[in-house]
Structure 1
Amino acid sequence: MIAPATPAERASRPAPTARSTSPSRRPAAPKADPANTAANHTHPRFENGPLAVIDVDADGQMLAYCVGGLVLDVPAKTIPALVDWTLKDAQLGQPKLSGPGKNADPLLVLTEAALGRYGLPVTLTDEERLAGRIPEAHKVIKQLTRADWKLTKRGFGPWARIYRPATGSERACVQLCIPSWHALDSRHWGDAAQLPPAELARILGLYASRVMTPRGSTAVTGLELMTALHPPTRASDPDADGRRHSEHNPGSLGKDPVDCAPCEAPDGHPLLKDLPRFHSRGPAEKLFEEAYDWARPMTDDECTLRHLVGIDVNMAFAAGANGLTVGLGAPTHVKAPVFDPKLPGSWLVDLSHVDLSRVKTGKDKWAELNADLLPSPFTPKGDRPEGPAWYATPTVAYAVELGYEVHPLEAWVRYENGRYLDGWYNRLRDAYLATMADLGVDAALTPTDFLAAMDAHKSRDPELAIVVSAIKATVKGGLGKLRERPRGEGWRPGEPWRALSRPTWRPDIRAAVISRTRINLHRKIVKHAAFTGQYPVAILSDCVVYAAGGPSPLDFLPYREGKPLPGGFKLGVNPGLVKHEGTQSVLWGEEVRERFDAPELNLARYIKDGTVTDVDNGE
């Protein structure tokens, strides 16, 4: 831990005071630890980094633990005074990520000791957790009101924003993160909430520098990152009087929400209010682009092998977003359109004629396959379509790629489109690769060395492993937020959704990314089957399980002189490449399926550690 200053030392320095300290460190990663270097040296306004963890030392002194081992004395005795100190003296924040964007507000993380000092509860009651905030009558909220500070609509909760209305271009806003109120979801942040303040500042600071300053959950941050990289407006060129005005920023989603197409609307959406009660929409009424959840019984030949080996696609949904053209504006309805693979949208088309027993795998190259051992690429459950259904553009384009004609009956297309997610993908990819390299896993490793490095990477620096987990959760959560559903017991179908007021509520973009991710995986499976005669036993999202003679992915992936099958699976750390997910025995798989009387139990769900306590087939 960081040694506290003596009272004499504190009295001899004005606040804020930068202490020269040496924070405790975990075992060093193979490269110099990026999280213990000062942040934002190029921006004097944010000299002390994007955030600070506020704690109380043994002498009762309030301290702000910043990135790079910097510790500041905090003179503030109340939350309003803490906000004032942060904005006037702390030099916290982060430069904007895009020219037309805004600088990130400073983030303060309050430990349990700090909560007690400022008169806030260490934990929330069940009622407060359900509401997501403390009551409006709380004394701290009254203090903020008297000091003319405001809270956003979500109130004073685990992620609170305290602000005054902006004057000109200057913002006056501070965000609070309260780990003991479950601000840091353990599914994504591991045990970060229990870390000492200097170590918590380290991992949150690294995440902020490589992704962005957290704005809430990883899902919220993933969505906010899209907007930060593509702000809805920008300043115009000077007019005749030399004045600039706010105008639409090309390539962004704009500042106003747009309606989705009826087929893209989730159940309960206001567009569907006229449907009969309890009506269940089928594939011809509803776009259903989701990740795979498919499995099949093993063949006799597969049962003679010893192992089931799972491989997992790195950052699969990020890779699916890379280079993808998505709609930027509202959809246009078209009857009997000619399919255009470059035009994003939703298409009603019959793909039941696509026969996987004979597919095109390249220019003038066709492959004969065992279709009974393959999932359909067109449905999440892998079932062959039975008639017309709604699909996103990448799914229909893949049917054409496989060598089959398509004749859409109708479509909702978006003529205003662009590669909106490219910058988002690039930033998250770079964050992931840089942090994995700090853990000793880089893109230059051979397949054998990569597998060995992955086996031990989390133990090299468990705190950096938390950052990797948070980055991956930012990808999935951000895409999930594009089709956020209403939550809470008080909501009823037909009532307005708060999420619909956001320009980033875009279920079509989410569908396109998931469609492309599933198609990317199926393409590799087909290439692998055509070359090796091996077929997957189970697929769950981005994890694929094969029966193999040995326990390693190298026992079934067709590497030749260190080179993988072109277009197939390749071991490596880059998004879209694969890693080893887990290995179990074929006997384990057969025993589990027999025990639960489930011959098509999805073994990909349990391949990592082999633990099956209850059957969940995703129904």
Structure 2
Amino acid sequence: MPTQDELFAAVDALLEEEPQLPPPAERARLREAAGITQSRLAQVLKSTLQTVKNWENGRSEPRPPRLQAYQRLLEGWAAKYPKTSTTTVPGPAAGPVPETFASPVQQPAPVPAEQPTPSPAAPAVAPVAVPAVAPQREPAPMASPAASRGPATKTASAKAAVDPRFPHGPLAVLDGDGSAYCAGGVVLDCPATTIPQLIDWALTESGTGAARLHRHGKDGDPLIVLTAPAAVKLGLPERLEGLEARRSLRLPDDHPVVKQITKARWQLTQRGFGPWPRIYRPAKAGQRQCVQLAILPWDALDARSWPGVADMEPADIARVLSTYAERVITPRGSTAVCGLELMTALRPPTRAVKDDSGAWVSGHNPGSLGTMPVDPAPPEAPAEHPVAQGWTGGSLDEEAYQWVRDVELLSHDECVLPFAIGLDINTAFLAAAARLPVGLSGPEHVQRPRFDKKIPGSWYVDLSHIELDPRLPSPFTPTGQRPQGPAWYQTHTVAYAQELGYNVQPAEAYLRRETGAYLDPWHDRLKTAYIDTMADLGITSDLDDHPFLAAMEHHKQTDPGMAAVLTAIKSTVKGGVGKLRERPQGRHYRDGERWPALERPTWRPDIRAAVISKARVNMHRKILKTAEATGLYPLAVLSDCVVYPSPGQSPLDFLPYTTSGKPLPGSFRLGCTPGLVKVEGVQEMPWAVDLMEQGLNPARHIKDGHDAVLQGGE
């Protein structure tokens, strides 16, 4: 039996816990019974009207010191206006009382959200403590015409239940009137008039953020997107002028806003206060405090990756960015940056492990690239890299196709065909990343190795003896020209030569013995995001060829917001792969110096080469299969676009099919999933021949035709 002292100690401990507030509906009933408006209550508690609304509908909970004051007020009202009595409102009410608030039925009390225990391996990744929230939320209607457009086959709101720590989604878009637009049409009141106040609001009251994508990772920080009026209201210039390049956009250190941040003991990352400033305080006791801003008038959203989004209404911007954040990752910069960040978020470099003494320490997460950068082999490095200085042994040239067939190799039968049709492979690099083994360790130099297609690496081998049909591009060079002698090739390129039946005898190689499918979760998440967004635009994988072609003609007009998400997803794929070999920037750089990107574990030109090599080989395999089945040969290839002569205006007029009406296995196939193809453009055949005679690539211009040639050239 417990003693009296033990029981008293337990009771005292219970009394010292944070006060438990009545259910949200009861809070509203008590306030209405007292005749106090929400605005008046917000004024007394020195809060905002929207915050009080959130307390009364269960979206968020007050925190100290307002918590104790609010509790005391509610207890006083509860003594005056018990639920069992019939109350008479002594003063004018704010308006009709919502039925849900007037109901005397008890609702479950909101339970404070459980915070995950910070990993001892990486204490900085613990999420910021946010107000506890009820599991249900009632989003305000979003006054957005885009929200009602297009088929709602799959929407962001149809996903898993909202994380109670982040009830308002991953981000908020702030306008000049202090309204913050969040996911699901929720509109919050943001009283901040300075950047430090905005950061405090984002961390303590906004209820924004995102759950980690991997159990060893970290939660996504709140993203606050500033429209032009909001930026001006917070003391920022509407534009930054007089700078040489977009990447150098930043406020000077003596700008008043930067001084405000410093005075409030916040810090900026090394990139300073630019279009995507990141503001933080060093983590203490496992508590992470960090907010990402995106400043729209400073071109935070590149129109090439986010077409038309910066000019949308705030509610529509919130819808577009929230959808991307929920399907891909909360934006932290350009789509290229997001592509790279997504790799790390899905494959965190460390995890918590126990050492010999049983203590938790930071350890390597299997399958990741680790925390330390790895220098490439000399042939894999760009010419300016330190390891390439003095190297004369040749370089790895694994790039996407840029090939045009020699006009003299065009037959009369091809020239008299009326049309040229461009086929575009959906996210070709993403398709190539599926089940792609890459090196997880540094390179090992080997002399006269035996070729093994299972080992990622760079091989020095002579493929110039391989003779293919001159009407086809060579699969071994990005120009499509036959190799002139020994050269360095990535594993997939050499394996394809072996697949074609040729003997390969490498003279030397740089190989990586520790391997893994590092990009698999990256591929899976982006593939799902791509397919879901296509479904939002009315394009699903179950469409037959004719309905698919018809739907693709107008799918971008179905919902411009979701069309922008689709473009951003595609840019994330290409940009993320490109970031694996980010080159030095700035006119003051000198060859041989290290540049910041080299300090990232994800600076891996060998992985980029593996993706591009596999994508190029995949395309050549389909081109070869199509030629064998139809006798048709491409006019030109550019990256993931191939142009064919055609007897009709539809790809159905020349693509090979089996006798049962199914696409010929191994050839090009129409469809909306990564690796399948869609129509890039259709032009008349004389137009394509004319470009070829000028040495221009029809694949570059077939989408927009004559106007694109006049505007861009090569």
Q: Which residue of 2 aligns with 1:365?
A: none
Q: Pick from 671, 682, 706 the counterpart of residue 583 of structure 1.
A: 682
Q: Which residue of 1 aligns with 2:537?
A: 439
DSSP-derived class of the 2:180 partner: strand
Deviation at 1:591, TM superposition (A): 3.5
Q: Which residue of 2 aligns with 1:613?
A: 709
Q: Is the 8 A contact 2:449 2:507 kept in 1?
A: yes
Kindly name which structure, 1 or 2, has the bigger radius of gyration based on alpha carbons: 2
DSSP-derived class of the 1:155 partner: coil
Change (3 A) 1:401 1:248: same
DSSP-derived class of the 1:166 partner: strand
Deviation at 1:272, TM superposition (A): 2.4
Change (3 A) 1:615 1:206: closer
Change (3 A) 1:133 1:40: farther
DSSP-derived class of the 1:127 partner: coil
Q: Which residue of 1 aligns with 2:230?
A: 114
1:399 aligns with 2:515: no
Q: Which residue of 2 aligns with 1:367?
A: none
**Cα distance in structure 2, aligned partners of 1:517 and 1:91:** 42
Q: Which residue of 1 aligns with 2:473?
A: 375
Change (3 A) 1:492 1:520: same
DSSP-derived class of the 1:450 partner: helix
Deviates more, 1:580-589 or 1:425-434: 580-589
Q: Is the 8 A contact 2:432 2:612 kept in 1?
A: yes
Change (3 A) 1:168 1:330: farther
Q: Which runs of 5+ in 2 are unaligned?
A: 1-36, 55-138
Q: Which residue of 2 aligns with 1:418?
A: 516
Q: Is the 8 A contact 1:257 1:505 kept in 2?
A: yes
Q: Which residue of 2 aligns with 1:196?
A: 313
**Cα distance in structure 2, aligned partners of 1:32 and 1:386:** 52
Q: Which residue of 1 aligns with 2:211?
A: 95
**Cα distance in structure 1, aligned partners of 2:199 and 2:39:** 21
Number of residues of Structure 1 aligned to a counterpart in Structure 2: 580
DSSP-derived class of the 2:283 partner: strand
1:303 aligns with 2:415: yes
Q: Which residue of 2 aligns with 1:4?
A: none
Q: Which residue of 2 aligns with 1:54?
A: 174
Deviation at 1:593, TM superposition (A): 4.3
Specify the code of the residue in structure 2 equivalent to 1:55: D
Q: Pick from 612, 617, 621 the counterpart of residue 514 of structure 1.
A: 612
Q: Which residue of 1 aligns with 2:633?
A: 535
Q: Which runs of 5+ in 1 are unaligned?
A: 1-7, 276-280, 357-370
Specify the code of the residue in structure 1 equivalent to 2:337: V
**Cα distance in structure 2, aligned partners of 1:510 and 1:150:** 34
DSSP-derived class of the 2:627 partner: helix
Q: Which residue of 2 aligns with 1:5?
A: none
Deviation per CA, 1:254-281: give whole Å up to 9, x if none: 0000110000010111112335xxxxx6
Q: Is the 8 A contact 1:319 1:425 kept in 2?
A: yes
**Cα distance in structure 2, aligned partners of 1:165 and 1:334:** 45
Deviation at 1:616, TM superposition (A): 7.2
**Cα distance in structure 2, aligned partners of 1:106 and 1:239:** 38
Deviation at 1:40, TM superposition (A): 6.8
Specify the code of the residue in structure 1 equivalent to 2:676: L
Deviation at 1:399, TM superposition (A): 0.4
Q: Is the 8 A contact 2:212 2:345 kept in 1?
A: yes
**Cα distance in structure 2, aligned partners of 1:615 and 1:326:** 40
Q: Which residue of 2 aligns with 1:602?
A: 697
RMSD, aligned CA: 1.8
Change (3 A) 1:615 1:467: closer
Q: Is the 8 A contact 2:210 2:220 kept in 1?
A: yes
**Cα distance in structure 2, aligned partners of 1:324 and 1:436:** 25
1:146 aligns with 2:263: yes
1:214 aligns with 2:328: no
DSSP-derived class of the 2:193 partner: coil
Q: Which residue of 1 aligns with 2:463?
A: 351
The percentage of aligned residue pairs carrying the same residue is 56
Deviation per CA, 1:463-500: give whole Å up to 9, x if none: 10000000000000000000000112222222221110
Deviation per CA, 1:270-309: give whole Å up to 9, x if none: 112335xxxxx6xx51000000000112322101111101
Specify the code of the residue in structure 1 equivalent to 2:194: T
Deviation at 1:168, TM superposition (A): 3.2
Change (3 A) 1:201 1:299: same
Q: Is the 8 A contact 1:39 1:48 kept in 2?
A: no
Specify the code of the residue in structure 2 equivalent to 1:402: L
Deviation at 1:191, TM superposition (A): 1.2
Change (3 A) 1:162 1:39: farther
How does the TM-score come out when normalised to structure 2?
A: 0.79
Q: Which residue of 2 aligns with 1:563?
A: 662
Q: Is the 8 A contact 2:422 2:641 kept in 1?
A: yes
Deviation at 1:34, TM superposition (A): 1.7
Q: Is the 8 A contact 1:39 1:68 kept in 2?
A: no
How does the TM-score come out when normalised to structure 1?
A: 0.91
Deviation at 1:125, TM superposition (A): 1.2
Change (3 A) 1:197 1:119: same
Deviation at 1:130, TM superposition (A): 6.0
DSSP-derived class of the 1:140 partner: helix
Deviation per CA, 1:420-441: give whole Å up to 9, x if none: 0000000000000000001000
Deviation at 1:71, TM superposition (A): 0.5
Specify the code of the residue in structure 2 equivalent to 1:183: A
DSSP-derived class of the 1:162 partner: strand
Q: Which residue of 1 aligns with 2:275?
A: 158
